Amino acid sequence: MQLDPSTAAVPDVYQYLVGLVTPRPIAWVTTVSPAGVVNLAPFSFFNAFGANPPVVVFSPTLRRDGTKKDTLLNLEKSGEFVIHAATAPLAEKVNLSSKEIPSDESEVALTGLTTVPSVKVKPPRIAEASVAMECVVRQIVPCGTGPIAANLVIGEVVMMHIADEVLDGNGGVDPRKLKTVARLGGAFWCHTSDLFELKRP
């Protein structure tokens, strides 16, 4: 088959895109609204893009009605966020935090999670998460308008929190202990526990 995004329906383009670009890591993001409400939401348009300085990029796309999500609105105001690793033990809560709730309510309460203060940014960290990266916004790049249009949030990591229990004993992260999960197309997710090694040539 062939699909021309310029003529296809936007929801169709989205469904094929997320079905083809897999697996997608999940940025589990806390932000704070001007009223002080902690927002928690997962985003599977996410990755790391450099280490000097450490840079991450994720995209809170516009909603299907074309409006901005709470995360994007908060970032435009505060310029700070925390990204947590989405791990297998917390997968159900990661998924639950994607639920649309009123902006004056917090997904932290919805999921039954707890927060602890961050070191360098205002948004708190999720206490139950084994990895958290405190970030400041370097740039927000809107890409398009209307439903599901991207907003590339380029963030600089200013502090990392890594639980000792996910380390490998040599100062690195052991993926077998971290147990991240990732998004596929539709309602499918995957574990990162089926591992193999290839030494770089």
pLDDT band for position 159 (cuts 50, 70, 90): very high
Q: What is the pLDDT of residue 76?
A: 98
Q: What is the pLDDT of residue 162?
A: 98
| Residue percentage of the chain with pLDDT more than 70 | 100
Report the C-alpha gap between 62 and 76 in whole angstroms.
14
- Within 8 A by CB and 6+ apart from 36, the residues are none
Is the whole model's pTM more than 0.85, yes or no?
Answer: yes
| Residue percentage of the chain with pLDDT more than 90 | 99
- Segment 151-179 mean pLDDT: 96
Report the C-alpha gap between 191 and 201 in whole angstroms.
27
CB-based burial, 148-181: b 16+ in 10 Å, e otherwise: beebebbbbbbeebeeeebeeeeeebeeeebbbb
pLDDT digits (tens, 9 = 90+) for 8-57: 999 999 999 999 999 999 999 999 999 999 999 999 999 999 999 999 99
Both tokens of residue 57? 């990029």
Q: What is the pLDDT of residue 14?
A: 93
- Segment 162-182 mean pLDDT: 96
Instruction: Enumerate the H helices of 79-183 as residue ranges.
Output: 91-96, 107-111, 175-178
Q: What is the pLDDT of residue 27?
A: 98
Q: What is the pLDDT of residue 99?
A: 97
Report whether 110 contacts 126 (CB < 8 A): no
Question: What is the domain class of 10-191 according to CATH?
Answer: mainly beta
- Segment 107-133 mean pLDDT: 98
Q: What is the pLDDT of residue 57?
A: 98
Both tokens of residue 51? 């280490």
- Segment 108-121 mean pLDDT: 98
- Segment 140-157 mean pLDDT: 96
- Within 8 A by CB and 6+ apart from 103, the residues are 33, 37, 39, 70, 73
Q: What is the pLDDT of residue 100?
A: 94
